[in-house]
């Protein structure tokens, strides 16, 4: 009997072990990645690069991450999550190590850009979420997705000030080596997530091609793809360019690290809350409200004089909304199409997210180098937030016709 038509079987690994291991993977991979913006100033100053040079490397990283995500998702759906996570840990570590001695932009692109991008696609919380989707019942999926996202947020809280302290203590080169060693922990953690078993509601069996055709022929899925683009733009621009934006205003570099940490801390609450909200209320309406709130918070931040207090308030407000989109967006994919090809289908949604990330990072550096200011990018972020709020309103929080019939 084929994998797509076989009934669900129980995973060999106990569910608590799967959840704990998956959360640790999310904590490490996203936590380290969220601190990359702290390297912008010291690396560009040491190498004599422009901000656009560094920003382009992270933009390429986001684009490679997004382009590789459907591929890694398909591999996880076919061969199991554990093998893909091992691949992610190896590529991630190699990329950080290469970046630690990168002497020219090309080497930075190969390390921080391409290798880390592949590592993130194979070893990030998107793969973990799909594993959780195959391990828990549909009624508990939103909560499980929120748990994985909250773990990634705690990683951001942990690695923000820790990375900045390491940079100040041992230098940015050695800090990248330390992060490279730490990310190899994904390899032993992958063992607990090696299974492929999926909880199935007896839906009509599908081939891989049929699953893709169904998704891209479904209006709500297409709208979800467009909406998640905005999330990527917001997160990448703020994570990379907020620290140098603050130092441009004469504030301490450590404030940038604490701002990223505070975003991560408050998103623990935001992600868990989003998971709970998605389990009880409309995920699409919740996403619409979330994006509108982001636009309002950014508008308030740039409308008043920036101070340490306003930075921390902005970080707390954005933190509540930071990765809260993930359990709601992934939850909609699971509701629409079920868990069988979730890693692949969420991978395509995430690719849109990473195209937004590419533009958010690169445009931030490009516009700053051209104008000496981030003002235009802040206003673009506000407009995109309103756009995303409107796009999510028509999305149906319900199974696609095939699942509905089953």
Position of tokens 């998956």?
22
Specify the pLDDT at position 201. Answer: 46
59 in a structural domain = yes
226 in a structural domain = yes
What are the pLDDT digits (tens) for 152-164? 878 878 887 889 8
1 in a structural domain = no
151 in a structural domain = yes
CB within 8 Å of 271: residues ≥ 6 apart: 146, 147, 149, 150, 152, 153, 322, 323, 324, 326, 327
With 90 as the cut, is the pLDDT of residue 312 above it? yes
What are the pLDDT digits (tens) for 72-103? 988 887 888 888 999 999 999 999 999 999 98
CB within 8 Å of 257: residues ≥ 6 apart: 35, 38, 160, 161, 163, 164, 165, 243
Q: Considering only CA atoms, which of 287, 286, 13, 267 is closest in space to residue 132?
A: 13
Specify the pLDDT at position 12. Answer: 65
- How many angstroms separate the CA atoms of 375 and 187, rounded? 42
Specify the pLDDT at position 128. Answer: 84
CB within 8 Å of 215: residues ≥ 6 apart: 221, 336, 337, 345, 348
| pLDDT averaged over every residue in the chain | 86
Specify the pLDDT at position 53. Answer: 87
What CATH number is given to the structural domain containing 247? 1.20.1250.20
Considering the entire predicted model, what is its pTM? 0.78
Q: Using CB atoms within 10 A of its CB, is residue 342 exposed (0-12), middle (13-18) or buried (19+)?
A: buried
Domain that holds residue 246: 15-199+207-401
Cβ atoms 272, 150 nearer than 8 A: yes
Q: Considering only CA atoms, which of 4, 1, 2 is closest in space to residue 338?
A: 4
Task: Tally the domains of the chain.
Answer: 1
First CA to last CA distance, the chain: 20
High-pLDDT (> 90) share of the chain, %: 41
SS (H, E, C) 12-33: CCCHHHHHHHHHHHHHHHHHHH
Specify the pLDDT at position 204. Answer: 59
Specify the pLDDT at position 365. Answer: 85
- How many other C-beta atoms lie within 10 A of the C-beta of residue 170? 12
- How many angstroms separate the CA atoms of 331 and 186, rounded? 25
Mean pLDDT computed over 356-369: 88
Neighbour-count burial for 384-398, b at 16+ CB within 10 Å, e otherwise? bbbbbbebbeebbbe
What are the pLDDT digits (tens) for 187-239? 898 887 776 545 444 455 778 888 889 999 999 999 999 999 999 999 989 98
Specify the pLDDT at position 260. Answer: 82
What are the pLDDT digits (tens) for 48-68? 888 888 888 988 898 899 889
Mean pLDDT computed over 38-57: 87
CB within 8 Å of 48: residues ≥ 6 apart: none
- How many angstroms separate the CA atoms of 156 and 163, rounded? 10
Q: Provide DSSP, 254-290.
A: HHHHHHHHHHHHHHHHHHHHHHHHHHHS-HHHHHHHH
10 in a structural domain = no
Confidence of residue 6 (pLDDT cuts 50, 70, 90): very low
What are the pLDDT digits (tens) for 329-362? 988 998 898 877 888 888 899 889 989 988 998 8
- How many angstroms separate the CA atoms of 190 and 207, rounded? 27
5 in a structural domain = no
Tell me the CA distances in angstroms from 126 to 93, 341, 346, one per residue in order.
18, 13, 8
Specify the pLDDT at position 195. Answer: 60
Specify the pLDDT at position 210. Answer: 87
Specify the pLDDT at position 10. Answer: 43
2 in a structural domain = no
Specify the pLDDT at position 66. Answer: 86
183 in a structural domain = yes
202: left (phi over 0), alpha (psi -120 to 50) or beta: left
Cβ atoms 58, 236 nearer than 8 A: yes
């Amino acid at each position: 009997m084929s994998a797509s038509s076989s009934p669900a079987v129980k995973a060999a690994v106990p569910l608590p072990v799967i959840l704990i291991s998956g959360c640790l993977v999310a904590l490490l991979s996203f936590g380290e990645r969220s601190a990359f913006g702290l390297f912008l100033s010291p690396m560009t100053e040491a190498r004599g690069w422009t901000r656009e040079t560094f920003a382009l490397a992270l933009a390429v990283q986001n684009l490679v991450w997004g382009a590789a995500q459907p591929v890694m998702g398909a591999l996880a759906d076919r061969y199991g999550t554990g093998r893909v996570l091992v691949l992610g840990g190896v590529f991630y570590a190699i990329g950080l190590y290469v970046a630690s001695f990168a002497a020219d932009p090309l080497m930075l692109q190969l390390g921080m850009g391409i290798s880390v991008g592949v590592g993130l696609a194979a070893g990030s919380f998107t793969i973990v979420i799909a594993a959780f989707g195959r391990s828990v019942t549909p009624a508990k999926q939103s909560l499980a997705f929120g748990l994985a996202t909250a773990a990634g947020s705690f990683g951001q809280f942990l690695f923000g000030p820790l990375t900045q302290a390491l940079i100040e203590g041992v230098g940015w080169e050695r800090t990248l080596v330390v992060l490279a060693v730490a990310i190899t922990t994904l390899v032993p953690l992958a063992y607990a997530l090696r299974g492929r078993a999926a909880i199935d509601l007896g839906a009509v069996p599908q081939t891989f091609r049929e699953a893709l055709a169904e998704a891209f022929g479904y209006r709500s899925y297409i709208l979800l793809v467009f909406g998640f683009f905005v999330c990527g733009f917001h997160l990448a621009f703020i994570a990379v360019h907020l620290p140098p934006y603050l130092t441009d205003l004469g504030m301490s570099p450590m404030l940038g690290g604490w701002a990223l940490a505070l975003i991560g801390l408050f998103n623990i609450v935001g992600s868990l809350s989003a998971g709970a909200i998605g389990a009880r209320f409309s995920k699409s309406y919740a996403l619409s409200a979330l994006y509108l709130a982001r636009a309002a918070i950014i508008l308030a931040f740039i409308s008043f004089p920036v101070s340490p207090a306003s930075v921390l308030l902005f970080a707390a407000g954005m933190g509540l909304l930071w990765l809260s989109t993930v359990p709601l967006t992934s939850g909609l994919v699971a509701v629409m199409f079920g868990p069988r090809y979730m890693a692949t289908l969420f991978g395509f949604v995430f690719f849109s997210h990473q195209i937004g990330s590419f533009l958010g990072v690169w445009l931030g550096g490009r516009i700053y180098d051209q104008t000496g200011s981030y003002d235009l990018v802040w206003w673009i972020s506000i407009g995109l937030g309103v756009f995303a709020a409107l796009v999510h309103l028509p999305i149906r929080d319900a199974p696609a016709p095939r699942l509905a019939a089953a």
